[in-house]
Structure 1
Amino acid sequence: MEIRWLQDFLAVAETGNFTRAAAMRNTSQAAFSRRIQQLEGWIGVPLIDRSVFPTALTPKGEQFRVTASNILSQMLEMRSELKGFPDAGGAQHFRLAMPYVLATARFPAWWTQWTRQNDFTATLVVGNAHEIAVGLTSGAIDMMIGFSAAQQPFYPERDGVESIEMETDFLRPFISPALLEREGYRFPGEAHRPLPLLMYSSGVYFARLVDLIIENAGGITHRRHVIENDMSDVLRDMAIEGHGIAWLPESTVAAGPRGTLVAIGGAQWSMPMSILAMRERANTNPAVSRLWQLIRRTRQTPPARRRPSPHSPRLDPANETHP
C-alpha cells in the first residue's frame, strides 16, 4: 500500500467529488481513479459508493476513513520521533503546515514574533494547498496557514474547524521594468504584441485564482504561455529575468530583490486574499492553544482599513486603473 493512496482516499472523502479531488491532488482523474481502485483492491472491500451522486463513502469506507486519518497522523509523529526532534510532542511543540510561498516569505518573521515570549518548537510541513488541508483533516498537523480568496475559498467551511485572518495580501500580475519599457505590454494584449504569461500548473490553487481574475476582467485577447510551474518563487524569478508576466502575491515580490518587478494592469487584474490560520476546535495541544491566542491578539487590521505599505511593490502608472 502507498501513502498517497490514503491521501487520495481522504481527498475524495473530503470533497465528495472525484474530479475536484484529482485536481487538488494535481493528477489526472484517470490516474486518481486507478489509485482509489488499487486501495480498494488492497483493502478487499469497496470504499466508495459509485451508485449515488454526489460521491459518498460506503459504510466500510466511513470506517476506514478514521483508520486512514490515524495512520497519516501516526506516521508524521513517528517521523518526528525517529529524527529525534527536541521536545517533539512536548507542551511547547506543535505541527504546522503551510504552502512553500508562505514558508519562505512570511514564516521567519512570524516565528520571530511568536517566540519572543514563548519557547515554542515546531515541525513545519510544507506542501500544496490540498496536501496541507488533508493534513489538518487527518490530524497529521495541528494547524495550517494558507491563502484564501472570497471567490475561491482555500478550505470549505465545516463544523469543527475555526479560522483567524492573520494578514491580507493581493495576487497581482508583475513584470520586470526593463521588459515593460522595451515591449510596452498592456492588458488585454495586442495582436502584434501578445502577452507572455508565466502561469501556474493546472490544479494549483493559484491557477484557479488567476483563471478567475482573467475571467472577471473580461479575458486576455492575445496571449502566449511561456512556462507553467507550481511555485510562485519560480515564476517570480522568471519574471525578474524578463521572461514574462506572472501573477504573484505581493508578499512574495516583497521578499525578493527590491525594484526588480512592477505591478501591471490595475485593480481589475488583481485579487485580494486573506492569509488564514486554521485549526480543529477539538485540538487539545496546549502549544496550539497558546499560539492561537497569540495570533488572535496580534492579527492585522482588515484590508479595508489598512494603508498601503511604503515598501509595497509599486504599480506601473501607465497600466494602473484608478477607481
Structure 2
Amino acid sequence: MPSATLEGKISPSVARLRRGLVMRANSVLITIYGDAIAPRRQSVWLGSLISLAEPFGISSRLVRTSAFRLTADDWFSATRIGRRSYYGLSDVGLLRVRHADRRIYEFNLPTWDGRWTLVLLEAGMRASMRQHLKRELLWESFGQLSPGIFAHPHVDHQSLQEILRAAKAEGHVAVLSAQSLDDYGRKPLQALMHDTFKLAKVEQAWQQFITRFAPAVALLDSLTQAEAFFLRTLLIHEYRRVLLRDPNLPAALLPDDWPGLRARELCELLYRKLLVGSEQFLVAHMETTDGPLSKTPREISRRLTSA
C-alpha cells in the first residue's frame, strides 16, 4: 500500500485530534506493536510500518531509523527476506509491553486492601543494576520514596518477579508488605504520595486527555476503517503515556473528583467502538513474514470482557 494512501483516508476532523502532539517515532511504533502486533507474535514488513506511521507525521526515514534503534535497544528483532526487512518484538520487548498491557487494558480498578508493596534495593548493588531496576520500576509506576526504596499500592507481583528475574537481582532486593496503622492520620501519607508521584502534573495530563478525546465520541458513527485505526492508535498512545505516569492510587489517597477515572471510562468507550473497524483495516493492509496479518486474536478481544 503506498504510504500516501492511508494519510489521504484521514479526514480533517479526525486528523485534528493529533494537533499539538509531539509524536516521536520510537514511541508510536511501540504503541502500534504493543496494541496490535504483540498479541499476534508476527513480524511486520517495514513498508507496512512506514504506511501506518505517516498520518502521525513520521517520515519513512524516521521509521527506518527508529526500527534500527529499537532493534539495537532489544525492543525489536529483525528478519531479512530478500530485499525486505521485517520487524517483530524481541523476547525483552514482548515482556515490556505485556507489563504495560496489564495496566492499559484493565479498565476496572481493583479494590485496595490498604497494603503497600515496598521494594528495597541493596546498598552495595552495582550501579548498572540499580539504574536498570529503577527504570523498570518507574515504568511499572512505582513511586521512589528515597534512592533505594520504591512503593506501590496495586503491584502486579508477576510483573515484579519478572523484572527482578530479568535483571538477575533477586538476591539484591527485599520486597515487603506495609499497611497504615489506624491510630495515625492519613493526611501526611496523602501529602507524601502527592509529592512522590507528582499528582498535580498527572492530574493536568488527564484533563488534557479528556479535552482532546471527548469530541471523538461524536465522530464514531462516521469513521472509515483507516480512521478507526488512526484514532485507536492515537488514543492508546496518549492513554499509555499518561497512565504509565499515574500510580493508580486508591481513592482514599486521591484528590476529590480525580480526572483519571473519567479518562479511563472515556478510553474504554472509544476503544470498544474502534476495535472492529481498526482490526479490519490492519488485517487488510499489513504484510508480515507469514503473509497478511492474522485475524484478531483472543488476547485482543479479551481486553473488553472485564466491564
Compare the two structures and name the one with the higher helix fraction.
Answer: 2
Higher percent of residues as strand: 1
Question: Which TM-score band applies after superposition, normalised by the shorter structure?
Answer: under 0.3
Higher relative contact order (CA 8 A, sep 6+): 2
| TM-score using structure 2 length | 0.27
